[in-house]
């Protein structure tokens, strides 16, 4: 039973990772929709930019500093803001590179942020929700939590775990009127695939059996995947719609690429999808190798002073630039 006050007061929505991407847009749309939004971010240096983005959008939200990997910071924010009706576990990171090249420390950082962080937040807000017999936890997982993602294994594994966690606690929290939703977007143009995309420290290790494959993967991302990725608006709007739902579905696959991949899986074509990804990767590796040898040949010609056989192509992008740095 809800009290009259609970009907009158707007839902208090706590979001993590609001400095950019889905988090920033969801905070804006949720505030515009009339929710009491607590938009959190880990880096105090980005607070002014977030406040400015909210102001420009005409949205009012309380901004707090919260690092999902730091239990003290989680508790301090919860002590300051009081009961939470809706938690959106949005913060996430990735570290690209083959599983052999990603270090334990890098993989652990991914898991701390993408899995243990959301678990800690859910554990922190759930007792209050259970007591009030209502609440909603939205975990932003990924298509990579439903299918494999080569050269992003730690990320994919952490998102698989987050989906498994969501599915499990959904049943535990059901008797208490607390709902749990998992959101699974495909590729979208946010900072996670641009400025925030991190390459493992051994990504360019020539001794690695994956040296060429890491490079080919990056080429595929930069030439084919990132340019085709959708904008983040629709995901943010969908999350706000879910916040307003009486009975949300257990999970939402968002984006054309994600829906397509899931449809293939349902049709029993998961193996075909893996083969397709593999052949695209192989093509990208070959292209990247060709590009490298052409680059070397041009350098040799420049050093020997002989004129280049072909006109100079546009300057190659550095990885940092290509990822938006």
Residues 85, 14: Cα–Cα separation, whole Å: 8
Residues 253, 115: Cα–Cα separation, whole Å: 19
Classify strands 251-254 and 198-199 as parallel, antiparallel or unpaired.
unpaired
Query: 257 with 143: CB under 8 angstroms?
Result: yes
Question: Judged by CB under 6 A, does residue 97 bind ligand NAP?
Answer: no
Question: Judged by CB under 6 A, does residue 139 bind ligand NAP?
Answer: no
How many of the chain's residues bind ligand NAP (CB under 6 A)?
30
Question: Judged by CB under 6 A, does residue 190 bind ligand NAP?
Answer: yes
Query: 70 with 91: CB under 8 angstroms?
Result: no
- In the complex with ligand NAP, which residue's Cβ is closer, 21 or 97? 21
- Listed residue (76, 69, 80, 92) closest to 22, CA to CA: 92
Question: Judged by CB under 6 A, does residue 237 bind ligand NAP?
Answer: no
Residue from 43, 108, 168, 279 touching ligand NAP (CB under 6 A): that is: 43
Stretch that binds ligand NAP, among 90-98, 205-213, 272-280, 299-307 (CB under 6 A): 90-98
Structure tokens at 95: 């570290």
The CB density around residue 311, as the number of other CB atoms within 10 Å, is: 5
- In the complex with ligand NAP, which residue's Cβ is closer, 98 or 139? 139
Does 155 qualify as catalytic in the annotation?
yes
Residue from 15, 19, 138, 220 touching ligand NAP (CB under 6 A): that is: 19
Structure tokens at 7: 């009907």
* CB 286 to ligand NAP: min, Å: 26
Question: Judged by CB under 6 A, does residue 60 bind ligand NAP?
Answer: no
* CB 91 to ligand NAP: min, Å: 3
* CB 134 to ligand NAP: min, Å: 25
Residues 6+ apart with CB under 8 A from 131: none
Question: Judged by CB under 6 A, does residue 67 bind ligand NAP?
Answer: yes
Query: 225 with 180: CB under 8 angstroms?
Result: no
Residues 120, 164: Cα–Cα separation, whole Å: 15
Q: Kindly list the catalytic residues.
A: 155
Enumerate binding residues for ligand NAP (CB under 6 A). Answer: 16-23, 41-43, 46, 67-69, 90-93, 113, 140, 142, 185, 187-188, 190-193, 196
């Amino acid at each position: 039973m809800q009290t009259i006050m609970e009907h009158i007061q707007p839902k208090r929505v706590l979001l993590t990772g609001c400095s950019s991407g889905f988090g920033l847009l969801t905070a804006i749309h949720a505030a515009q929709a009339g929710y009491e939004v607590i938009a959190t971010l880990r880096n105090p240096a980005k607070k002014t930019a977030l406040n400015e983005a909210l102001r420009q959008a005409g949205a009012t939200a309380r901004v707090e500093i919260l690092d999902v990997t730091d239990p003290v910071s989680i508790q301090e924010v919860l002590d300051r803001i009081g009961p939470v009706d809706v938690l959106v576990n949005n913060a996430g990171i990735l570290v690209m590179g083959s599983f052999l090249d990603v270090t334990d420390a890098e993989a652990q950082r991914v898991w701390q942020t993408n899995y243990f962080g959301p678990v800690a937040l859910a554990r922190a807000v759930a007792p209050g929700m259970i007591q009030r017999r209502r609440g909603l936890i939205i975990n932003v997982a990924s298509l990579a939590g439903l299918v494999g993602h080569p050269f992003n294994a730690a990320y994919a594994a952490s998102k698989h775990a987050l989906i498994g966690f969501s599915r499990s606690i959904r049943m535990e929290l059901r008797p208490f009127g607390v709902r749990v939703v998992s959101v699974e977007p495909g590729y979208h143009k946010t900072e996670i695939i641009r400025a925030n995309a991190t390459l493992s420290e051994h990504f360019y290790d020539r001794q690695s059996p994956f040296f060429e494959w890491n490079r080919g993967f990056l080429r595929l991302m930069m030439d084919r995947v990132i340019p085709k990725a959708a904008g983040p608006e629709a995901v943010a709007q969908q999350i706000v719609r879910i916040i307003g739902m009486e009975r949300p579905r257990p999970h939402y696959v968002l984006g054309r690429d994600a829906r397509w991949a899931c449809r293939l899986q349902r049709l029993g074509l998961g193996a075909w999808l893996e083969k397709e990804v593999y052949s695209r990767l192989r093509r990208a590796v070959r292209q990247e190798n060709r590009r490298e040898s052409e680059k070397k040949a041009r350098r040799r010609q420049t050093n020997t002073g002989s004129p280049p056989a072909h006109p100079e192509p546009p300057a190659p992008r550095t990885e940092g630039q290509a990822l938006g740095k």
